[in-house]
Structure 1
Amino acid sequence: MNFKVPRGTQDILPSESWKWQKVESIIRNLCDNYRYKEIRTPIFEQTELFQRTVGDTTDIVTKEMYTFTDRGNRSMTLRPEGTAPVVRSFVENKMFGYPDQPVKLYYQGPMFRYERQQAGRYRQFVQFGVEAIGSADPAIDAEVIALAMDVYKQAGLTDVKLVLNSLGDRESRNAHRDALVAHFTPRIGEFCSDCQSRLEKNPLRILDCKVDREHPLMETAPSLTDYLNEQSAAYFEQVKGYLDDVGIAYELDPNLVRGLDYYNHTAFEIMSTSSGFGAITTLCGGGRYNGLAEEIGGPYAPGIGFGMSIERLLLALEAEGKSFTQEAELDVYIVTLEESAHRKGFKLLNELRNAGIRADMDYMDRKMKAQMKSADRFNAKAVIVIGQDEVDGNVVQLKNMAEGSQEKIEDTMIIEKIKEQLK
């Protein structure tokens, strides 16, 4: 029987995984600069956590979650997003009692959603995200957005734009909700069944519908920004002011609502503007979620965060015709010509690695020419050649691949010589 990778997933082979490592390195360094610390949560959680926080009318909960019953007859779900698990951990581990607030966290790992596979969108995908929990300062909203923008900037993307909206507080959203119900009710029969069920439960979700996005009522739907109360409007102005202060450009989109129920106040997306990227342009999305910690049994702890697809970041780089520079894979490749030389080469290989030098050798008993070709493919900076003469003379032949020079080096001096050459 021939087994294949499950539909909607992918194998990331060594020819591509180094690019992921580049992105991961950028992320770790930036998070360290911003003082965000890594958190690692389980891949699966209680199903109710996502139903309660993400929203039981969202596509994620109703159509996309991978849910199973464990042997204890408990309903469990592979995490479809990262915020709910992080906030759950924040509450469970009483991080709200930490002396330094807000608690600034980042995560990176696989998420799971059962949806149709498209370019850069998989059923198992890798998401990087940050959460700043414990502060209602609009400046932290701007900081989170700045961190997301910095990831794309340092990765080399230029064709991106930030889209911004405010969802307001509960009072503002309730007023907007009533206006949406009045707007859509007379013609709700023209909408899909999902929108019809959302009319009373959560009419804001109608604006996020992929099926009816071209319906004329979508264009004339009441804008949430028109229903922001004085406090919500003032908060949004401060967020925009902080972004203006640090030179982060943005576009306002009153129809940006995001796909999860826990968002309020600031909502944002970062999109690719590259002509070769494709129809689905969103690279990253996030927003504020005051009240989420309370929803899962914790104290009031306002938060804001974002989730970013690594697959889509790499796809955006490809669309812009950009790529990372791949460093040489090896410092040294050892070529051996005899059995006794192979033994000596293996011992030297171990010594090189213990000295922090990236090294490898042939294990296929190939001729010298074939071994040298391997050294070229690995972009080895140096090659050590060992034959019977070198074994008998306690020396090796060291070839500098960049210069093309070669010299005989005593065994006791080889590591020192290579380190000097690598400098």
Structure 2
Amino acid sequence: MSIRLPRGTQDILPGQVEKWQLIEQKARELCHKFQYQEIRTPIFEHTDLFLRSVGDTTDIVQKEMYTFDDRGGRSLTLRPEGTASTVRSFVEHKMFGQANQPVKLYYMGPMFRYERPQAGRFRQFVQFGVEAIGSDDPAIDAEVIALAMALYKEMGLKKLKLVINSLGDKESRAKHREALIAHFSPSINEFCSDCQSRLEKNPMRILDCKKDREHPLMKTAPSIIDHLNDESKQYFKKVQQYLTDLEIEFEVDANLVRGLDYYTHTAFEIMSDAEGFGAITTLCGGGRYNGLTEEVGGPEAPGIGFALSIERFLAALEAENVELPIDQSIDCYIVALGEEARDYSVGLLHKLRHAGYSAERDYSDRKIKAQFKAADRMNAKYVAVIGEDELKNNKINLKIMDSGEQKEMELASFIQDFTALYRN
């Protein structure tokens, strides 16, 4: 019986992995410019962390987490998202005591959710995310959104739509909660069992339901915007002002609630408007989470962040026909003819690599024509040919593949001569 990879996972093979590396490199470069530092947290955490932070009424906690007991009987969960782990680490390592606030962090790594696999959505997927913890300045909200937009645009995406909303503070949320309960209660039996259980626990989650999204009451549900107090309105107004100052276009969508319980004030999504991208258009989501540090046992430290899927990023690039500048060439391929030349080429190959060049040689004792074909397949810029006669005469023949020009060089000084030619 052949063993295949588990459903909802993927192998990222050579030829594709270079695209991932390019996105990851660009993300790291941007984070350096914006002064976000990398954090790496465990792939599994105590289950209680996600129950407290993500929320026990969310689809993630109720249906999608990979949870198991270890040999000591402790309940552990493969991380379904990165914010909870980052905040837990922020609290545990007392980063709130650092001189520079907010603490600006980013992460990149695999997350796990048990959901139906579909285009661009996997059970193991890779997220890049940033978190700024320790400030309630609306300018940091705009900065976080600007970082996400910059990453997409600098990689070549053009058909983007930024949607924002305010979920308000605790007072605003409480008023909105009462209005939602009053709105949905008379007809709650027409909704799915999940929505019925959420009515009293967290009625805002009803607005995020995928099964009942076409129900008439969804379209007439009370808007959180209409229940914002003056402080929340002013905060949201400032965020919009800063985005306008940064020349970032956006739309306000009062129905945007996001799928996690910890969000307050600013919530946002970046979507792809590319034709044929698919039914699920969201590329990136995030928002403010004032109160989350207290939930995991720390002091008050308001925060904001976002997370994006690398898989969906790549799908959006494909939908817009963006060709990433992947260099799959090598600097030099050594063609060796005869046993002595093959033996000598082992050391020569090492010298080329040690000098900083990408280089390769034949390992199958093929004829000269087959070795040149291999050099072509690898997009070699130069081919160095060495045989028995060349060894005797301390010579090596170098072919410049673009022009077909050939140069004879001294074998003893080949690395220096190759470097001089390569740099010119």
Amino acid at match of 2:71: R
Q: What is the CA-CA distance between 1:299 and the residue it aligns to?
A: 0.5
> Please, which moves more after superposition, 210-219 or 373-382?
373-382
Q: What's the counterpart of residue 248 of structure 1?
A: 248
Q: What's the counterpart of residue 236 of structure 1?
A: 236
Q: How does 1:73-112 map to 2 (within 5 A)?
A: 73-112=73-112
Q: How does 1:20-59 map to 2 (within 5 A)?
A: 20-59=20-59
Q: What's the counterpart of residue 272 of structure 1?
A: 272
> Please, which moves more after superposition, 52-61 or 412-421?
412-421
Q: What's the counterpart of residue 325 of structure 1?
A: 325
Q: What is the CA-CA distance between 1:393 and the residue it aligns to?
A: 1.6
Q: What is the CA-CA distance between 1:390 and the residue it aligns to?
A: 1.3
State how far apart, in whole Å, the 1-side matches of 2:386 and 2:330 are. Answer: 18
Q: What's the counterpart of residue 122 of structure 2?
A: 122
Q: What is the CA-CA distance between 1:326 and the residue it aligns to?
A: 2.1
CA-to-aligned-CA distance 1:298-353 (integer Å, 9 cap, x gap): 00000000000000010001001112022143101111111111111111001111
State how far apart, in whole Å, the 2-side matches of 1:75 and 1:372 are. Answer: 58
State how far apart, in whole Å, the 2-side matches of 1:284 and 1:262 are. Answer: 17
State how far apart, in whole Å, the 2-side matches of 1:52 and 1:208 are. Answer: 19
Q: What's the counterpart of residue 19 of structure 2?
A: 19
State how far apart, in whole Å, the 2-side matches of 1:311 and 1:419 are. Answer: 39
State how far apart, in whole Å, the 2-side matches of 1:160 and 1:368 are. Answer: 51
Q: What is the CA-CA distance between 1:391 and the residue it aligns to?
A: 1.6
Q: What is the CA-CA distance between 1:415 and the residue it aligns to?
A: 1.2
State how far apart, in whole Å, the 2-side matches of 1:280 and 1:267 are. Answer: 18
- CA contact under 8 A between 1:167 and 1:264: conserved in structure 2? yes
Q: How does 1:14-413 map to 2 (within 5 A)?
A: 14-413=14-413
Q: What is the CA-CA distance between 1:271 and the residue it aligns to?
A: 0.1
SS in 2 for 1:383: strand
State how far apart, in whole Å, the 2-side matches of 1:402 and 1:411 are. Answer: 23
Query: What residue ranges of structure 1 are gaps of 5+ in the alignment?
Result: none
SS in 1 for 2:130: strand
Normalised by the length of structure 1, the TM-score is 0.99
Question: Identity of paired residues, percent?
Answer: 66
Amino acid at match of 2:123: R
Normalised by the length of structure 2, the TM-score is 0.99
Amino acid at match of 2:15: S
SS in 2 for 1:130: strand
- CA contact under 8 A between 1:164 and 1:250: conserved in structure 2? yes
State how far apart, in whole Å, the 2-side matches of 1:32 and 1:152 are. Answer: 16
Q: What is the CA-CA distance between 1:72 and the residue it aligns to?
A: 1.2
State how far apart, in whole Å, the 1-side matches of 2:79 and 2:270 are. Answer: 23
Amino acid at match of 2:56: D
> Please, which moves more after superposition, 220-229 or 356-365?
356-365
State how far apart, in whole Å, the 1-side matches of 2:158 and 2:421 are. Answer: 37
State how far apart, in whole Å, the 2-side matches of 1:372 and 1:11 are. Answer: 30
SS in 2 for 1:139: helix
Amino acid at match of 1:45: E
SS in 2 for 1:331: strand
- CA contact under 8 A between 1:328 and 1:381: conserved in structure 2? no
Q: What is the CA-CA distance between 1:50 and the residue it aligns to?
A: 0.3
State how far apart, in whole Å, the 2-side matches of 1:146 and 1:419 are. Answer: 42
State how far apart, in whole Å, the 1-side matches of 2:194 and 2:422 are. Answer: 62
State how far apart, in whole Å, the 2-side matches of 1:409 and 1:309 are. Answer: 50
- CA contact under 8 A between 1:286 and 1:307: conserved in structure 2? yes
SS in 2 for 1:55: coil
Amino acid at match of 1:267: A
> Please, which moves more after superposition, 360-369 or 133-142?
360-369
Amino acid at match of 2:77: T
State how far apart, in whole Å, the 1-side matches of 2:127 and 2:235 are. Answer: 29
Amino acid at match of 2:304: I
State how far apart, in whole Å, the 2-side matches of 1:369 and 1:201 are. Answer: 73
State how far apart, in whole Å, the 1-side matches of 2:129 and 2:325 are. Answer: 25
Q: What is the CA-CA distance between 1:276 and the residue it aligns to?
A: 1.3
Q: How many residues align?
A: 423
Amino acid at match of 1:415: I
Q: What is the CA-CA distance between 1:417 and the residue it aligns to?
A: 2.1
CA-to-aligned-CA distance 1:363-389 (integer Å, 9 cap, x gap): 111111111111111111111111111
State how far apart, in whole Å, the 1-side matches of 2:289 and 2:235 are. Answer: 14
Amino acid at match of 2:341: A
State how far apart, in whole Å, the 2-side matches of 1:416 and 1:273 are. Answer: 52
